[in-house]
């Protein structure tokens, strides 16, 4: 007898990544926890296995499958988890052939054809997952007419009997995020995470960076939760888990100044001394904003500066200047915030001179303002403008193995830099990390 309708799985992403993640910023898989909450609200029994922080083995997987007896296994996929995904699907189909396997997430959205043809995945859900997963479950567990009904699921992709891929576009956007239930954190062991209490407050990004796939996944519009709804979730965390700590995971939490201000004022008026962190674009930072963030408990802030060359930033469509970046870091330092910055070496437009200048600027931010500086190598991920225009940009990719698309191993060369050059400068940049 089935005890669980759906088993959701967060795939492991490789040993090197897991070690770094566990040491620095492991966090619950909010996307899956949102899907779980929606499914449970609609009467489905759901469990979740997070193999990003748990031991991943065929035996452990079998133990979950034997316990759950679920009809559906749904996976959140990443390019780094490509090999684990293939192993997991092979194991399920060899030993539990009655289970239907779904894949979702950004990687599945852009690489759905490879997933369907090269793994034993039955269906891919492309785009935002809550509504399409619920629609799929409604079709699946009411068996009559499933084969025809499933074709109407927005975002669905699968292999037809003639081995051609059927796909029904991207799932439609959820326009009112306040209507979603809060992520169901009861499904995971929060002690497994360095950052157990994370909050997502919007979907999409106002930027157009050529190295980011956000626009391709979410579309042009940024959809935000209200300040009131965000505060309700934070208050629930305090009430249920007795915690005053949380971290906002958005790419640019401060994109709406009014919403940010309203949220900070709610924290201040609560009488609870919250301690939290977020990421911000540098171009909207001024002292008034930093002061309010700090006074409301935001003691950690992150800025991505990507390059120390304004012309390269313009070509990347970052829409920020190096002067704005230093100003934001300087103000955060003035208020004694813990500052995290990140940058990328090996852009299509980089030369040895621009990379050396960027690394020097990172060292300057570290030594002058106490910022932690994280360096990664340019990697053209599927869904990004630079992946689609790689030949035009002079980027050569040396592998078609998705598991090699990492941020700490060069897989490209450019018109100006060899693969070995990028490896050398990546090593130089990584030496700056504390």
Structure-token match 């001024």, residue found:
286
Tell me: pLDDT of 195 over 60. Answer: yes
Q: What is the percentage of the chain residues whose pLDDT exceeds 90?
A: 90
- Return the pLDDT at 25: 65
Q: What tens digit of pLDDT does each residue of 68-92 get? A: 999 999 999 999 999 999 999 999 9
Q: What strand order describes the sheet that includes 72-76?
A: 46-50, 6-10, 72-76, 100-104, 123-125, 156-159, 165-167
Band the pLDDT of 386: cuts 50, 70, 90: very high
Contact of 247 with 197, CB cutoff 8 Å: yes
Q: SS3 for 292?
A: helix
139, 141, 142, 145: CA torsion to nearest 10? 50
Closest residue by Cα to residue 421 from 354, 322, 364: 354
Q: How far apart are CA 67 and CA 90, in angstroms?
A: 19
108, 113, 117, 122: CA torsion to nearest 10? 50
Q: What tens digit of pLDDT does each residue of 266-311 get? A: 999 999 999 999 999 999 999 999 999 999 999 999 999 999 999 9
The residue that leads in pLDDT, 410 or 22, is 410
Tell me: pLDDT of 350 over 80. Answer: yes
Chain centroid, CA 339 distance in Å: 20
Residue 80's alpha-carbon distances to 11, 88, 112, 197, 401, in angstroms, are 9, 14, 15, 24, 10
Q: What tens digit of pLDDT does each residue of 35-49 get? A: 999 999 999 999 999
Band the pLDDT of 252: cuts 50, 70, 90: confident
Q: Where are the beta strands (DSSP E) in 317-371?
A: 338-345
Q: How far apart are CA 234 and CA 243, in angstroms?
A: 9
Bridge partners for 73 per DSSP: 7, 101
């Amino acid at each position: 007898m089935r005890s669980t309708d759906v088993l959701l799985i967060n795939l492991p992403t490789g040993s090197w990544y897991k070690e770094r993640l566990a040491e620095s910023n492991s966090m619950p898989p909010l996307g899956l926890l949102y899907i779980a909450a929606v499914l449970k609200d609609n009467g489905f029994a759901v469990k979740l296995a997070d193999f990003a922080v748990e031991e991943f083995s065929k035996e452990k997987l079998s133990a979950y499958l034997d316990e759950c007896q679920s009809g559906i296994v749904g996976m959140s996929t990443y390019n780094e988890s490509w090999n684990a995904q293939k192993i997991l699907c092979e194991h399920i189909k060899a030993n539990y052939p009655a289970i239907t396997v779904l894949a979702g997430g950004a990687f599945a959205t852009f690489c759905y054809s490879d997933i369907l043809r090269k793994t034993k995945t039955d269906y891919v859900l492309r785009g935002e997952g809550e509504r399409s997963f619920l629609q799929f479950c409604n079709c699946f567990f009411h068996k009559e007419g499933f084969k025809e009904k499933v074709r109407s699921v927005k975002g669905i992709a699968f292999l037809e009997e003639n081995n051609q891929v059927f796909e029904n576009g991207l799932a439609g956007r959820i326009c009112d995020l306040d209507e979603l239930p809060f992520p169901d954190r009861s499904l995971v062991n929060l002690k497994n995470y360095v950052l157990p209490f994370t909050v997502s407050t919007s979907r999409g990004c106002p930027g157009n960076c050529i190295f980011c796939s956000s626009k391709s996944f979410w579309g042009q519009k940024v959809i935000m939760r209200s300040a009131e709804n965000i505060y309700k979730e934070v208050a629930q965390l305090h009430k249920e888990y007795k915690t005053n700590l949380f971290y906002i995971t958005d790419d640019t939490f401060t994109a709406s100044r009014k919403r940010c201000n309203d949220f900070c004022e709610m924290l201040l008026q609560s009488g609870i001394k919250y301690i939290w962190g977020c990421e911000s674009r540098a171009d909207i930072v001024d002292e008034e904003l930093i002061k309010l963030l700090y006074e409301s408990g935001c003691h950690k802030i992150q800025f991505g500066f990507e390059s120390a060359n304004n012309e390269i930033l313009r070509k990347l469509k970052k829409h920020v200047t190096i002067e704005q970046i230093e100003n934001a870091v300087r103000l955060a330092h003035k208020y004694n915030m813990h500052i995290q910055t990140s940058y990328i070496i090996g852009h299509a437009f980089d030369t040895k001179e621009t990379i050396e200048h960027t690394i020097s600027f990172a060292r300057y931010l570290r030594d002058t303002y106490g910022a932690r500086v994280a360096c990664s190598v340019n990697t053209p991920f599927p869904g990004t403008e630079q992946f689609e225009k790689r030949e035009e940009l002079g980027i050569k990719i040396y592998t078609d193995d998705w598991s090699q698309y990492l941020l700490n191993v060069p897989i490209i060369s450019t018109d100006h830099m060899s693969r070995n050059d990028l490896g050398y400068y990546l090593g130089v940049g990584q030496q700056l990390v504390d």
